[in-house]
Amino acid sequence: MKNIPDFVLVRPQMGENIGAAARAMLNFGLDRMSVVAPRDGWPNERAVAMASGAGRVLDGARLSATTAEAVADCAMVFATTARDRDLTKPVYSPEAAMIEARDRIARGERVAILFGPERTGLENDDVARANAIVSVPTNPDFPSLNLAQCVLLMGYEWRRAIAAPAAQTMEMAGTDFANHAELEALAAHYEERLDTAGFFFPEGKAPAMKRHLRNLWSRMPLTRADVQTFHGMMRQMVRWKERG
């Protein structure tokens, strides 16, 4: 068994949405799709056209006549829905649901996520077969998500659950961050030239002004290329002044 959840599209109405869902799934390393009673039959040419390179997800999709059949071998089933239901069930955020799915799959359980048809979403009979509900914090005045959008969102949360990306990275573009010696040399260069220009005035405030300037350099995340640029700027300004 693959260590990924089943994404179950229940009675999808448009082939284009099935294809877009397949593409969204493959974006996040998911290819276990089940299709329950698609309105326009199966296979669907419009789904293939819309999948745009994710055709293998459609090729491997399981076709089921009912939701019960699609989830028969699953130990945990989540139902995605934006509507209030007259059913007592635990409600998960997308993030928490995918963490739970990850942990259960790691224990050898099979997990499914149900997605409803475009016009109405999942029916209560479908939701009743789920162990829990997944609720997306959408605008309460416009809560409905397109089928492929909902698949994309859950696929993204799955990917985060198994390989959380760094919140922020830095592209260094062929350089490294400046070390303290390089920052010290830059600070000394500016301090010397600014002192010559009479910047540190009055004399009694000069120590505090120099300390403030050094603190500015140390606070800035400068690369070695940045440091060389600042040195060059100051040298050019001095040359321009001397020519004048």
Give me the CATH topology for the region 6-162: Alpha/beta knot (3.40.1280)
Residue 172 pLDDT: 82
Residue 55 confidence (pLDDT) above 80: yes
Residues 6+ apart with CB under 8 A from 26: 53, 54, 56, 57
Task: Output the CA torsion sign for 224, 226, 232, 234.
Answer: negative
pLDDT tens-digit series, residues 148-186: 999 999 999 999 999 876 777 778 888 888 989 999 999
In which band, very low, low, confident or very high, does the pLDDT at 1 lie, cut at 50, 70 and 90? low
Please give the Cα distance from 12 to 148 (Å, whole number). Answer: 11
In which band, very low, low, confident or very high, does the pLDDT at 244 lie, cut at 50, 70 and 90? low
- pTM reported for the whole predicted model: 0.74
pLDDT tens-digit series, residues 106-145: 999 999 999 999 888 899 999 999 999 999 888 988 888 8
Exposed / middle / buried, residue 36 (Cβ in 10 Å: 0-12, 13-18, 19+): buried
pLDDT tens-digit series, residues 205-240: 999 999 999 999 989 889 999 999 999 999 999 888
Q: What letter does residue 91 receive in the DSSP assignment?
A: E
Residue 185 pLDDT: 95
Please give the Cα distance from 67 to 134 (Å, whole number). Answer: 17
Residue 87 pLDDT: 86
Of 82, 79, 81, 93, residue with least CA distance to 142: 82
Phi, psi of 7 (to 5 degrees): -105, 115
- Dihedral Cα 110, 114, 115, 119, nearest 10 deg: 160
52-71: burial string, b at 16+ Cβ within 10 Å, e else: eebbebbeebeebeebeebb
Residues 6+ apart with CB under 8 A from 162: 102
Q: Are 36 and 6 in contact (CB under 8 A)?
A: no
Domain boundaries, the chain: 6-162, 180-243
